[in-house]
Every structure is written in C-alpha cells, then in structure tokens.
Structure 1
Amino acid sequence: MALNEVVLAEPRGFCAGVDRAIDIVEHALAKFGAPIYVRHEIVHNTYVVNDLKGKGAVFIEDLADVPPGATLVFSAHGVSKAVQNEAERRGFRIFDATCPLVTKVHVEVAKLHREGYEFIMIGHKGHPEVEGTMGQLDSGIHLVEDVADVARVTPGQTERLAVVTQTTLSVDDAAEILAAVKARFPKVREPKQQDICYATQNRQDAVKLLSAQVDVVIVVGSPTSSNSNRLRELAAKLGTPGHMVDSADELRPEWFEGKARVGLTAGASAPEVLVQQVIDRLRALGAISVRSMDGLTETVKFPLPKGLKLDTPDAPAA
C-alpha cells in the first residue's frame, strides 16, 4: 500500500483572533515604523514570528527591554493586570492584540469577582493565556490541569464559585474536568457560553471526522501551540497515528510506509503557506491526489484597535 491521497481538514489554520493579532503588528509597523515591540510571541508559530521579525518586530518577555516611548503590542494570549499597569507606567504606546474571546473571559472574571466569586480555572500551568487570566486578580483563581487536581483544590468558600477555561483546550478533556468540578462543587457557576473558542472547537470537530477517513494525521503547528498539540492528541486518541510538524522539512518518510491516505490539518496559529509546503512534500513522497473535506466556513472577523487604521489620503472626499 503506497501513499496515494491527501485529505485536507476544513476548517484549519488561522482563526479570526490570530488574523487580528498579526494585522495589529503589521499595521503598527506600517504606521509607526520599525521597531515595534511585542510582548511574548504574538501567536505561537515559528514561521509567523520569524516573518514579523524580518519586518521589524522585536519580541520581548521583560518590559525593561522596551525603550521609553516605544510602541508595544500585547500578544494574542493576553496579559496580567500587573503587566498592563507596568506598561502604562512606563509610558509606551500600547496596542492590545489579546484575542477578543480571551478578553471575554477576563471581563467575566472581573465582573464575577466584584460579586464576590472565587474561580476554578481549567488550563495548562505556565501557558501565557493562563498566566494572563489568573493575573486579572491578585488571588482567588485556582488552577486545575486534570481531574486529579480537582480533588486537591481548596477554595476559600464554595457558595460563590465560578469556573473558567483556557480557550485552546481539548473540548473533551475540558468537559471531563468540568464534570469533576461540578461533582465536587454542585453550586459552581459555569460560563454562559463555553470559554473554549469556536476555532478550537471547529478544528477538533474536523479532526474527529478526518481521523475516521485516513491512515495517519499530520498537524501543522509549533510545539508551543496549545491548540495544535490538542489536534495531534485527539487523532491519536481516536486511534489514528498523529504527528505535528513546524514545517514540511520535519516530515519523515517512514510515517507514511503502508499508509495510503494522509489527513492534513493546521492549528489556529499556523499559516496556509505551511500547509501548501507540506502538500508539495507529500506529493514528492508519492501522493497523487489532494481533496478537501466538507466542513464549516468560518466568517468571524474582529476589528482592529482604534488608532491603527492606516490613513488613506487618496480616498475621495465625502
């Protein structure tokens, strides 16, 4: 059995929040000139970060590395109140590229905190989105990473307890952990709408359909990308071997030995150009045909922050 067909997941690749974050950096470069400083990788993709570096973006972790008066962009993952306050204190021109769906979680945390709530957050320790959300408050957010953590968590009170999640988790894993939270804390308040973002949900749903049709799944995404890792894990959980690659160069011919049909998807921070390069490499390895699955067409778009619209002096007068 030789490699024959590539099946493309739909949807795959960039989501609206990633599109917006990249646009913010590119518009800032066009409007204010290089360098534009970005706290943390704007999105978790090596190709995107290197491309923006080439255009004049400087990625930093410590605000002390940003010169006075510079333009600073917060990454799509969001930042803590402490980072926001320090950036304002240092007097930077700030543009916030936090995904609006992450901002929604921050707003909910602030609102419920004012009503006296404590929080259980389902997420991965050390991920910048989790640090940003937990950093909305000085205390009162308890992180759980798995079902076992739920048994260990000790909130100060249980009458007013709410749950929030990282937006890029495995939908199924988060549901399992949430069930454990509800079993232990029956009065816990759930989000009105699920915190896991539409794009994460859609890409996982597509992989569930894709895995049943193929012999191996390739996920285009960087190792730091949470939602990309979840796609590879999901394929494996469904019984289809899965591999994640940052670029076509990482594909290994032995993955496709005895495999006729390859499924291909990309995490929400991985650009389509990388998918096309993987397709070219798979053709070189013997793939004859490429087809796209039927799937959802995403139409979500998020506006740019004020102050970043490029001037268009040639536009006709009203």
Structure 2
Amino acid sequence: MKNKEIKILLSAPRGFCAGVERAIEIVKKSIKKYGAPVYVRHEIVHNKYVVDSLKAIGAIFIEELEEIKDKTRPVIFSAHGVPKAIPLQATKYKMEYIDATCPLVSKVHREAENLYKAGYHIILIGHNNHPEVIGTMGQLPEGAIDLIQDEHDVEAYELDQNKKIGYTTQTTLSIDDTQNIIKALKKKFPEIKAPFKEDICYATTNRQSAVKNIAKQCDMFFVLGSRNSSNSVRLVEVAEQAGCAHAELIHSESEIPFEQLLNCKTIGISSGASAPEILVEDFINKLKNKFQIKIEEVEIIKENIVFKVPSKLN
C-alpha cells in the first residue's frame, strides 16, 4: 500500500465559516465571563468534535430550557437560530441569554418578518425539522409561513388566490437544487416576491463552488463533517452532481475505505462549515500512513468575513 501514490486536491475555501467561528467564540467567552457551567440550547454547531471540546471546558448542551436545573446560569442559543418563543421563555425564567444565531440566519428572520408585515404569505425553502427551519418558521404566527422541500411540494402547493406570496430559503442548501425549486415557484406564482439578496450564505456558496471546481478530476471525494450538518451533506451531493463517481461524508464514526483508495489516482477533500481544520489534518495523516501522498490546494476565493461577538462579552 505504502508504494501507492495518491494525489489529493484540497478544496478551498473549506471548513469553518464566520458564523461558526463567532458561535464557538461566544461559548468560550461566555465561560470566561460567567464561569462554568454555561448552558447551550441545541448543539452550538453541528459537529461532534466541536461540541465535545466545548463540553470539556464547561458547556452543557440541552435541547429545551426546562432541562436547565440552575436557572441562574446563562444560556446560549445556537448558530442555527431559535423561534421567538425561546427568548421569551428565557425572560420568563429570568435567565440571562446570549444569542449566537449566525447574522446571515438573522437576516432571513428579518426578511420573513418584513414580508409578513407587508401582507405576504411566505414560503420557506428548506429541510423539515432542521433547527434553522424551526427557528425561521418560529419567527411568525402559525400558518403565516409554509415549508417547501422540493419541486413536488411546489406542484402540490395550493394558496388562496387573493394572497400575495414571497419566499425565503434556508442558508445551507445546495444552490443548484434551490434554483430548480425557485424556478418551479416562479412558474406557478409569477408574482412571487424574491429576497432582496440571495439567502444561501456566502460560505455555503463558496464551499460548493470550490468542490464543483475539482470534483470531475477526482476518483473519490471526501467531505469531513457531521451527519446532521446540512451544508456538509450538501457538499457530498454537489461533488457527485459535478461528476465525481463516488463521494462520501467522513464523520466521527466513519471507517476510511482504504481498499477502494487503492484504485484511485486523485481524490478530493473538503469540509463542512462546522468542521474544524484539525479533522482534515487527521484524515490526511491517516492516508499518509498508508500511501505516498501529494497535496495540491485549489483555492477559488479568499474569505475574509468576520462577525463580531456581542459587545457584552468583550
């Protein structure tokens, strides 16, 4: 095996986006300011390595505020955003809360609210039960916003003819899939109001473009990320759609398919927006133990976006 040479095309940009970096920083700074433990509602970002490392310094992850025994401790809301009812509940419990919602998700929340105030019925393009979708739908009264997941949902969708209609999207979707859904919506509802600016976040767009750029040259493609990370799962799909015959997600319990790699000359590697670079490094080191590795980083765009943490943590 060790004589086998494999070329790695390392996709860039990859890994942490500004929203994820900000959310992790918020947890760390909160622990520094308030001491441990600090509670976090839902996984701060969808990555086991990140969650475990934050647990180790004093973060306790819960799904609902009722689970918090000591309500004098602060609670942080995850990067995916929360329904409006959650901050209200924290206030009722007299709990201090810090909102780590990604600013790009907050933008979608504001868009949905503005459409609603302007008398529009809203369609949200997204995945059922994803925390970001739950958070966005929870910004408005029940019945004001409907979820559409694919083109079949568009076909089946009925709306009162007198209502104005607008749409927003989950930030971590595949651009190509979303384009098809939007096309179907515009065909069915020619007057539908589009977002002022694209909802799919810059990091999702950049990571997908970077994968598309190299996928066709790769015999296999690997995306480092968690199974419940929407943007990581989309990257696997994007690699296959862009012409790589075999793409797969490498998560915390994955076995590396060394036997299949024996048939590869070139492989591609990327990572989801919530996956730390150390996971990419570990993966490459495991490959180096078995094969002769040559690495070429292929960068399509430099990212220099930074989101500030709330001023009360500085």
> Is TM-score (shorter-chain normalized) higher than 0.5?
yes
Question: Which residue identity does 2:262 align to in structure 1?
Answer: E
SS of equivalent to 1:9: strand
Please state if 1:170 is matched with 2:192.
no
Residue 136 of structure 1: aligned partner: 139
Instruction: Write out per-residue CA displacement over residues 230-276 of structure 1, whole angstroms, 9 at most, x where no aligned residue.
Output: 00011112231101112496312123131011110000000000000
Residue 316 of structure 1: aligned partner: none
SS of equivalent to 2:110: helix
1:39 equivalent among 28, 38, 41:
41
1:252 equivalent among 257, 278, 290:
257
SS of equivalent to 2:184: helix
Question: Which residue identity does 2:237 align to in structure 1?
Answer: E
Partner Cα distance (2:100, 2:134) in 1: 16
SS of equivalent to 2:311: coil
Q: How many angstroms does 1:212 deviate by?
A: 2.0
The answer to whether the Cα contact below 8 Å between 2:210 and 2:299 also exists between their aligned partners in 1 is no
Partner Cα distance (1:251, 1:72) in 2: 37
Partner Cα distance (1:3, 1:144) in 2: 46
Between stretches 191-200 and 208-217, larger displacement belongs to 208-217
The answer to whether the Cα contact below 8 Å between 1:13 and 1:269 also exists between their aligned partners in 2 is yes
2:31 equivalent among 23, 29, 33:
29
Instruction: Write out per-residue CA displacement over residues 121-147 of structure 1, whole angstroms, 9 at most, x where no aligned residue.
Output: 100000000000001111211101000
2:151 equivalent among 139, 147, 153:
147
Q: How many angstroms does 1:45 deviate by?
A: 0.3
Residue 90 of structure 2: aligned partner: 87
Question: Which residue identity does 2:136 align to in structure 1?
Answer: T
TM-score, length-scaled by structure 2:
0.95
Between stretches 112-121 and 266-275, larger displacement belongs to 112-121
Between stretches 11-20 and 109-118, larger displacement belongs to 109-118
1:306 equivalent among 301, 307, 311:
311
Partner Cα distance (1:157, 1:305) in 2: 43
Please state if 1:48 is matched with 2:87.
no
The answer to whether the Cα contact below 8 Å between 1:167 and 1:195 also exists between their aligned partners in 2 is yes
Structure 1 gap ranges (5+): 310-318
Partner Cα distance (1:144, 1:287) in 2: 47
SS of equivalent to 2:71: coil
Instruction: Write out per-residue CA displacement over residues 5-43 of structure 1, whole angstroms, 9 at most, x where no aligned residue.
Output: 111101000000000000000000111111010000000
The answer to whether the Cα contact below 8 Å between 1:158 and 1:185 also exists between their aligned partners in 2 is no
Residue 63 of structure 1: aligned partner: 65
Partner Cα distance (1:268, 1:10) in 2: 12
The answer to whether the Cα contact below 8 Å between 1:3 and 1:256 also exists between their aligned partners in 2 is no
Instruction: Write out per-residue CA displacement over residues 25-84 of structure 1, whole angstroms, 9 at most, x where no aligned residue.
Output: 000011111101000000000100010011110000111012222100000000001112
TM-score, length-scaled by structure 1:
0.94
Residue 113 of structure 1: aligned partner: 116
2:127 equivalent among 120, 124, 127:
124
Partner Cα distance (1:249, 1:156) in 2: 48
Please state if 1:276 is matched with 2:281.
yes
SS of equivalent to 1:142: strand
The answer to whether the Cα contact below 8 Å between 2:5 and 2:294 also exists between their aligned partners in 1 is no
Between stretches 77-86 and 151-160, larger displacement belongs to 151-160
Residue 269 of structure 2: aligned partner: 264
The answer to whether the Cα contact below 8 Å between 1:218 and 1:264 also exists between their aligned partners in 2 is yes
Question: Which residue identity does 1:30 align to in structure 2?
Answer: K
The answer to whether the Cα contact below 8 Å between 1:39 and 1:59 also exists between their aligned partners in 2 is yes
Structure 2 gap ranges (5+): none
Instruction: Write out per-residue CA displacement over residues 124-179 of structure 1, whole angstroms, 9 at most, x where no aligned residue.
Output: 00000000000111121110100000122233455421100000000000000010
SS of equivalent to 1:264: strand
Residue 192 of structure 2: aligned partner: 188
Partner Cα distance (1:164, 1:97) in 2: 21
Question: Which residue identity does 1:224 align to in structure 2?
Answer: N
Identity of aligned residues (%): 45
- Counting matched residue pairs gives 309
1:237 equivalent among 241, 244, 257:
241
1:9 equivalent among 8, 11, 14:
11
The answer to whether the Cα contact below 8 Å between 2:223 and 2:248 also exists between their aligned partners in 1 is yes
